[in-house]
Amino acid sequence: MKIQVPNSKFKIRIGWLYPELMSTYGDRGNILYFRKRCDQRNIGTELLSIDSSFSSGQFKDLDFIFGGGSQDTEQELVMRNLMGNKAESLKSKVERGTPALFVCGSPQLMGRFYEPGVGKRIDGLGIFDIESIHPGPLVPRCIGNTVGEVYWENLSAVRIERVIIGFENHGGRTILGKNVKPFAKVVKGFGNNGNDKTEGMVYKNAVGCYYHGPFLPKNPAVADFFIQRIIEVKYGEHIKLDKLDDTYENKARETLLRRFNIL
């Protein structure tokens, strides 16, 4: 899969982790929305599938990496294919500061390991210093609408928007290690584990979170953060993005926040 937009001054090459296996919950919406916001600013995009046909050498060309969610079986298939040179190339990109966003179940694959409720432990890539354990099929899942306050300082960024909103549905409980920082503080919902009020994780320019499906359309400020950071990393330019008309996004956010009694 390779889709291009007409050339412009800036161009972003997006690597999408196993879209056929890891798009269970409508995570495709994040890619569509991200590319739309780039297109509206005349920023070119190129989309590449990181799948079984993708070589380890191709990682060097990527400017942004995205991973979505999947079931435990698909996660294990992805990990088997990623192990080896591909895994090392992906880790190297993150270590060098390439921006990345992993939503839903994909952060578990980027951690040290994920232990499902039934079955064997799945070793992760170790990009994030996290451990995820499912306490078992009889333990209630962490599910429902969720609101968080972004720790913009952990992203080395000025505050763009105070809160993020989304939906979570996960059985695993994730504990952060010393080498990662939380992405957000839980205002409503469960977050990483339902206890410490943390949501997601940040390591260099890589972000992971449990927010399902179309996370970026609900949080345009996060999409813009990534666009700006990608351009900074790739081109060494600190730019101010053109403001877009987010009337519908803002109305949707206000409606949800009022429903949650946040506003």
Q: What is the CA radius of gyration of the chain?
A: 17
- For 74, 127, 167, the CA distances from 26, given in Å and listed in that order, are 15, 24, 12
Please tell me which residue in 104, 142, 170, 209 is annotated as part of the active site. 104
List Cβ neighbours of 150 (8 Å cut-off, separation of 6 or more).
159, 161, 162, 163, 164, 183, 184, 222
Cα 37 to Cα 216: distance, rounded to the nearest angstrom: 10
Tell me, yes or no, if 212 is annotated catalytic.
yes
Q: How far is it between the farthest Cα atoms of the chain?
A: 54
Catalytic residue among 38, 134, 170, 212: 212
Query: Which residue, chain included where needed, has tokens 């990608």?
Result: 230
Catalytic positions are 104, 212
